[in-house]
Structure 1
Amino acid sequence: MKLTEKELEVVEILEKNARISIEDLSKMAGLDPEETNKIVAKLEELKVIVSYPTVIDWSKVDGHEGVTAMIDVKVTPKRGVGFDEVAERIYRFKEVKSVYLMSGAYDLSVVIEGRSMNEVARFVSEKLSTLDSVISTTTHFILKKYKHDGTIFEQTDDDKRIVVSP
């Protein structure tokens, strides 16, 4: 689908700040608010704008530490549907946050969240690895997030420049 220059500008602004007001969005895009509302409604209807997510730093919330794992999955694609059918079976599990078709040594990359490493291990051994098409898995646990979806975590405002004096 080809977007107009203004539609593309609206999408790029919303991608950086989904909470921006229509008034501010209109000013930034050089449009009137009514036209901006129509563009946003159209992009939502066409599923160009899929959702307005919030990025949370759960490490700062007591009792919500949890564990995030990235799992590389090698699968046997099925005739006629390729990887789509097995990807759909995987993304339907409640633990699964993301599934991506990848190039390289593994076919799918699966991101899951659990309350503990044991919970993630149970998911892999009891649910994921038991699927017919799954050949092998490799699990990587995320130890610390530095940047996620363009948002930098724990950014300090310290000035790291060296003081230069005459």
Structure 2
Amino acid sequence: MKINNREREILEILEKDARFTAADISKMTGLNEENVQAMIDKLEEARVLVHYTSLVDWSKVEDDQRVTAMIDVKVTPKRGVGFHETADRISRFSEVSSVYLMSGAYDLSVTVEGKSMNEVARFVSEKLSVLEEVISTTTHFQLKKYKHDGRMFEEKQTDSRIVVSP
């Protein structure tokens, strides 16, 4: 879909903070509120604007044990549909939060979330690896999140150590 500069501007504003209303964006852009809302509706209908989301740092929530893994998947592409059919099938699993077609040694990058490492391991061994098109997988467990979607998870702290010089 081809979009104009105003629509691009609205997308960039919402990408930075999805809480902005049409009235807020109207004030920021100088467009009238009805036009802004009409553009947002058009972008949603065309699935250019797909979802509004919040970014949560779950590591700061006591007793939260959720685990995130990034899985590199080597796949045999199917004639006529390439990787699309397999990526779509993998995307339908509830444990999967994202799937990307990649260049390089692996074909798909799959992000999986679970309640424990065992739950993710079971997903890989019982659901993902058994798919006929899947040749191999490599699982990487996320240990700490520093930055996500352009947002830092921790503010830079000043170094309070005493400088020691020879």
Task: State TM-score, norm by structure 2.
Answer: 0.91
Pair 1:3 & 2:3 matched: yes
Task: Tell me, in whole angstroms, the C-alpha distance in 2 between the residues paired with 1:147 and 1:158.
Answer: 18
After superposing on structure 2, the runs of 4+ consecutive aligned residues of structure 1 that deviate more than 6 Å are none
**Structure 2 counterparts to residues 61-100 of structure 1, below 5 A:** 61-100=61-100
Q: CA deviation at 1:63?
A: 2.9
Task: Tell me how far 1:135 sits from its aligned partner.
Answer: 0.4
Task: Return the offset for 1:50.
Answer: 0.4
Is 1:131 equivalent to 2:123 in the alignment?
Answer: no
The number of equivalent residue pairs is: 160
Q: Normalised by the size of structure 1, how large is the TM-score?
A: 0.91
Match of 1:154 in 2: 154
- Residue 152 of structure 1 deviates from its aligned partner by 1.0
In the alignment, the residues of structure 2 paired with residue 81 and residue 14 of structure 1 have an alpha-carbon distance, to the nearest angstrom, of: 33
After superposition, give the CA deviation of every residue in 1:38-81 in whole Å (9 maximum; x if it has no partner): 11111111111001011111111123231100000001011111
Match of 1:107 in 2: 107
Query: Which stretch has the larger CA shift, 118-127 or 60-69?
Result: 60-69
Whole-Å separation in 1 of the counterparts to 2:48 and 2:90: 24
Offset, 1:156: 3.6
Q: Could you tell me which amino acid in structure 1 is paired with residue 54 of structure 2?
A: T
- Give the AA of the match of 2:155: Q
**Partners of 2:126 and 2:79 in 1: CA distance:** 25
1:105-124 Cα offsets, whole Å, 9 max, x none, are: 00000000011111111111
Partner of 1:45: 45
Unaligned stretches of 5+ residues in structure 1: 161-166
* TM-fit CA distance, 1:2: 1.5
Residues 122-154 of structure 1 deviation map (CA, whole Å, 9 limit, x = unaligned): 111111100000000000010000011111101
Q: For 2:118 and 2:100, locate their aligned partners in 1 and report how far apart those are by CA, in whole Å.
A: 24
Distance 1:97 1:23, change over 3 A: same
Paired residue for 2:163?
Answer: none
Identity, in percent, stands at 65
Q: Distance in 2 between matches of 1:21 and 1:120?
A: 38
Stretches of structure 2 lacking an aligned partner (at least 5 in a row): 161-166
Q: Separation in 2 of the partners of 1:132 and 1:21?
A: 46
